[in-house]
């Protein structure tokens, strides 16, 4: 027996996920601006994507495993990484 495919919930306005995509783009753009402010002009977009991808990835993994400590640990690691970039 083949499992049925996962169906994502629809938003009330029936955007089919476009709202989430716009939020991700906005978050990445704002993060890139912050990295540019730290002097990482050429790398800002890549650093922002790395930050967003790692943060979202660890959020998913922590949720799947119901492991809040993992989330706290990884947030501390990300904060340390950003702090090091700011020096």
Instruction: Please give the pLDDT value at position 79.
Output: 92
28-48 confidence digits (pLDDT tens): 888 899 999 999 999 999 999
Instruction: Please give the pLDDT value at position 8.
Output: 45
Q: Choose between 2 and 81: higher pLDDT.
A: 81
| Residues 6+ positions from 62 with CB-CB distance below 8 Å | 68, 70, 71, 74
Helices assigned H by DSSP within the chain: 18-37, 44-65, 68-85
Burial (0-12, 13-18, 19+ Cβ within 10 Å), 76:
exposed
Residue ranges of the domains in the chain?
18-85
What pTM value is reported for the model?
A: 0.68
């Amino acid at each position: 027996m083949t499992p049925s495919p996962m169906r994502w919930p629809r938003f009330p306005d029936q955007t089919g996920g476009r709202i989430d995509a716009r939020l991700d783009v906005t978050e990445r753009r704002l993060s890139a601006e912050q990295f540019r402010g730290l002097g990482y002009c050429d790398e800002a977009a890549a650093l922002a994507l790395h930050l967003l991808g790692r943060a979202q990835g660890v959020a998913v993994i922590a949720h799947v495993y119901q492991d809040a400590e993992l989330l706290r640990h990884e947030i501390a690691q990300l904060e340390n990484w950003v702090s090091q970039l700011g020096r």
